[in-house]
Amino acid sequence: MLHEILLSLSGYPSPLLHAGPSPEADVLAGVTPPERQVLASAAHMSNLHTNLIAYSSEISATHASAICRAVATAISSVHLAAFQRKILDVETSILSNDTTYVGAYNIVPLTAVMSEFQQWTRRLEWLWDVVRYMMAADHGGSPCKGAALIDRFRDELQSGYQDIAQTAESLVTVAETAWLKQVSAWVLYGRLPDFGADDFFAQKMQEASEEYICIAECLPSFVTGATAASMLFVGKSINHVRTMDSNAASNGMGHVSGKLRELSRLTFPLESLDFSRAIQAIRVSLSRNILQKILPLTKVSEMMLLLRGFLLLGRGEFAMALIQEADEKIRNRWRRAGNLVHEKDQGIRNIVVKDGEVAAVLNRTWAILLSMQGQHAEEDDQLDMARELIQLHLTKSKPPAALVTGKGLDVESANLLAASPFRNLLFSVPAILSLQVPPPLDMVISTSDLQLYSCINAYLLAMRRAHIRLTNLWKVTSLRRHFPSPRGASDQAVNLRERWSDRSWLLRSLWTTASAAIFFLGETEAYFQTEVVEGLWENFNAWLTQPPCADHETSGNSPSSSSHDPQTLSNAHTLYLRILTHRLLLTQPTFTNPLYDLMSHIDRLVNHLHRLNSLFTSLDLEQDAGVVDASIDLEREQSQVFSSMYDAEQDVKRGIGVVVDALRALEADAKFLADCEGHALTDEDFDLVEERAYNPGRVGGVDRLLMKLDFGSWLGS
């Protein structure tokens, strides 16, 4: 019986411990109930051992995670091997007549033998739970992640059972060692794992691209958000450098690989602070010895100035020229297609614009800006760089990249920005300005940042366009007065004066509404541009261009001595941009939706006025010179345009009120105000604990805008 028990504990099937259900096959018929209970315990341990052998081998050979494979191999080669040695030791002691097991008359008590294995029962059960967890039997069949397994082991260190804690410590060392090998290849050489890449935190967005993203589910809990960002940045930077200059990459790798000693000195289980310091040291070394040489601060500052000037409308002449050329393109399409704006009140929606026409608008805009410089003007390097990098295209042919959420941009806000309708106003179809960031500047300015710039640009450009279109109405002199004024008392002069008096009376309320809309747009634009955009830009630019402190210059080994390394610049720029998006109210649909509707109403009003001016000209020719167009009933068409124009006027009036009321609601929204106050130092996505880190300035305030708008006569309810 003892031979059968020991063989069964070793993992071999035995009829003694696995008897069949029928009485004839019951080999334990002569065994007493107490002995049966002891044998049941042995059968339980035998089943655990057998299953552990089978499934740990399967996991080691087939699991998709390298960490899980390493843990399964350690279970088999370390812990099950130790159990096997225990069985052999007991067997050896029995054969050598050790008095611990062998009594008088060479009798070996079964309880004495099994008592030696009782300490293994809980350990084998725990190991079986671990194997089942790796097999995903406990959570709906989803694949087990190495990071989740590490977190499980770290939790078990506090279980209170010494044997379980020792086993968990052994396995967490194996798991973290396998994970650290993958991290080392990434942060030292920029290499993704050859096996188990889906279980690694850094993954390519697309197979053919060089954009990488951080998968939070693949990171153990001891890795902070700032450390994860540093690891992702270091690997991305090494790949950027390798792509740009293989010689610089090889020289840098020789230096950075020396940091392998710092990683090798880490103790297991890994401590969050020690690991963060090691990663930060690697990042600072890479930045100081390679990245700051290929990406000087002056180059970053130059690109930031370009983005401020052209995408954030710092150079107003660019925005004006672009709007005028776009409007001219739309008017030309109307003339060629014979599409009258007044038809069904949806003229601008019937215009079809192609990619080539949109690109031609931008080219003519550059030509206008160049002509403004004059023949003897100094060369504008920023304009030349903008001509090379900035593109205007339809979003249907080039869908925007996915926004990366994080500090100041949650999932809901990202979805709102991705579906922003303001890009529809320039050409009546979705079109955006974008910028191609040349390497190595793409280490600082991400694709997600550029999409935010495009959203902000479309938003600011839409307000500027509505403002310009309204003010241009005053340039249509024939709508406001008759020149030259008819003199004398002849019937014709009297008729002309009566005609223009009637028209002036009919258009009086319209000019009042247009003036109110101009006042609203002017104050809103001034608030956004001078207080929000310019205020945040001055704050960010001051941080960007500040000279290094003297103590930083002398403490070369201190991580804070590299406060303007590319990752810090990238984090600061992303934070600045997202705070700007929030302060511009772009993430507040209760404001942006009625604002977009108001701009659509303004477009309708302006289009109807231009059409009305054309009808006035035709009616004057018909009445004064006898020029008749038999295909058009001018009187009927004038009546229809007046009706549509008055509807648009009322919509503009109501639209202004709705937008102002939305601002008042935001001013009274405690959550919105708390978000505005707390958007500086409250997130782990950015390493704001370092010295001289970027801290966004507190600018703007809805109350300041409302205080200006309160000077209006009937704005709001």
pLDDT number for residue 715: 52
pLDDT number for residue 560: 40
pLDDT number for residue 442: 87
* Lowest-confidence segment of 181-190, 267-276, 411-420, 654-663 by average pLDDT: 411-420
Same domain for 627 and 591, yes or no, is yes
Asked whether the predicted pLDDT for residue 354 surpasses 90, the reply is: no
- Label residue 291 by pLDDT band (50, 70, 90): confident
Same domain for 282 and 431, yes or no, is no
CB atoms within 10 A of CB 197: 14
Same domain for 519 and 624, yes or no, is yes
Structure tokens at 265: 């000195």
Report for 41-55, 343-357, 408-422: range of highest mean pLDDT: 41-55
In a domain, 531, yes or no: yes
Same domain for 52 and 184, yes or no, is no
Provide the CB-side half-sphere exposure for 694 (13 A, CA). 28
More confident residue, 693 or 543: 543
Average pLDDT, stretch 360-384? 82
Cα 609 to Cα 479: distance, rounded to the nearest angstrom: 9
Asked whether the predicted pLDDT for residue 711 surpasses 90, the reply is: no
Q: Which CATH number do you get for residue 329? A: 1.20.120.1900
* Lowest-confidence segment of 18-22, 434-438, 526-530, 553-557 by average pLDDT: 553-557
Same domain for 702 and 577, yes or no, is yes
* Lowest-confidence segment of 130-139, 375-384, 567-576 by average pLDDT: 375-384
Q: For 467-492, how does the pLDDT look when each residue is reduced to its tens digit (9 = 90+)? A: 999 999 998 887 777 666 666 667 77
Report for 142-146, 245-249, 558-562: range of highest mean pLDDT: 142-146
In a domain, 675, yes or no: yes
Same domain for 477 and 621, yes or no, is yes
Strands (E), 104-240: 202-204, 212-214
In a domain, 627, yes or no: yes
Average pLDDT, stretch 697-709? 86
Structure tokens at 189: 């050489």
Total domains present in the chain: 3
Asked whether the predicted pLDDT for residue 5 surpasses 80, the reply is: no
Same domain for 462 and 358, yes or no, is yes
Average pLDDT, stretch 639-666? 92
Cα 123 to Cα 137: distance, rounded to the nearest angstrom: 19
H or E segment and range at residue 391:
strand 390-394
How does the average pLDDT of the chain come out, rounded? 82
In a domain, 277, yes or no: yes
Same domain for 93 and 122, yes or no, is yes
H helix count then E strand count, the chain: 28, 4
Asked whether the predicted pLDDT for residue 676 surpasses 50, the reply is: yes
Asked whether the predicted pLDDT for residue 450 surpasses 60, the reply is: yes
CB 565 within 8 A of CB 686: no
In a domain, 161, yes or no: no
Q: Domain residues for 100?
A: 1-144
pLDDT number for residue 683: 41
- Label residue 551 by pLDDT band (50, 70, 90): very low
- Label residue 248 by pLDDT band (50, 70, 90): low
Same domain for 451 and 576, yes or no, is yes
Average pLDDT, stretch 294-309? 93
Same domain for 215 and 270, yes or no, is yes
- Label residue 318 by pLDDT band (50, 70, 90): very high
DSSP per residue, 240-251: HHHHH-HHHHHH
- Label residue 558 by pLDDT band (50, 70, 90): very low
Asked whether the predicted pLDDT for residue 716 surpasses 50, the reply is: no
Asked whether the predicted pLDDT for residue 550 surpasses 70, the reply is: no
Asked whether the predicted pLDDT for residue 506 surpasses 70, the reply is: yes
CB 449 within 8 A of CB 504: no
| C-beta contacts of 117-120 below 8 A and 24+ residues apart | 117/9, 117/42, 117/45, 117/86, 117/90, 118/41, 119/163, 120/45, 120/83, 120/86
In a domain, 155, yes or no: no
pLDDT number for residue 681: 41
Average pLDDT, stretch 251-257? 56
Cα 641 to Cα 503: distance, rounded to the nearest angstrom: 13
Same domain for 238 and 309, yes or no, is no
Percentage of residues in the chain with pLDDT exceeding 70?
A: 80
Q: Is 680 helix (H, G, I), strand (E, B) or coil?
A: coil
Same domain for 209 and 315, yes or no, is no
Nearest to 227 by CA among 552, 696, 689: 689
Asked whether the predicted pLDDT for residue 434 surpasses 80, the reply is: yes
Average pLDDT, stretch 656-667? 92
pLDDT number for residue 347: 45
Characterize 561-574 residue by residue with b for buried, 16 or more Cβ atoms within 10 angstroms of its Cβ, and e for exposed: bbbbbbbbbbbbbb
Percentage of residues in the chain with pLDDT exceeding 90?
A: 42
Average pLDDT, stretch 212-226? 91
Q: Is 342 helix (H, G, I), strand (E, B) or coil?
A: coil
Cα 97 to Cα 116: distance, rounded to the nearest angstrom: 16
Q: Where a domain ends, among 127, 144, 161?
A: 144
CB atoms within 10 A of CB 266: 16
In a domain, 157, yes or no: no
In a domain, 156, yes or no: no
Cα Rg of the chain, angstroms: 38
Average pLDDT, stretch 195-206? 89
Cα 584 to Cα 522: distance, rounded to the nearest angstrom: 15
pTM (2 d.p.) = 0.80
Q: For 127-170, how does the pLDDT look when each residue is reduced to its tens digit (9 = 90+)? A: 999 999 998 754 556 789 999 999 999 999 988 889 999 999 99
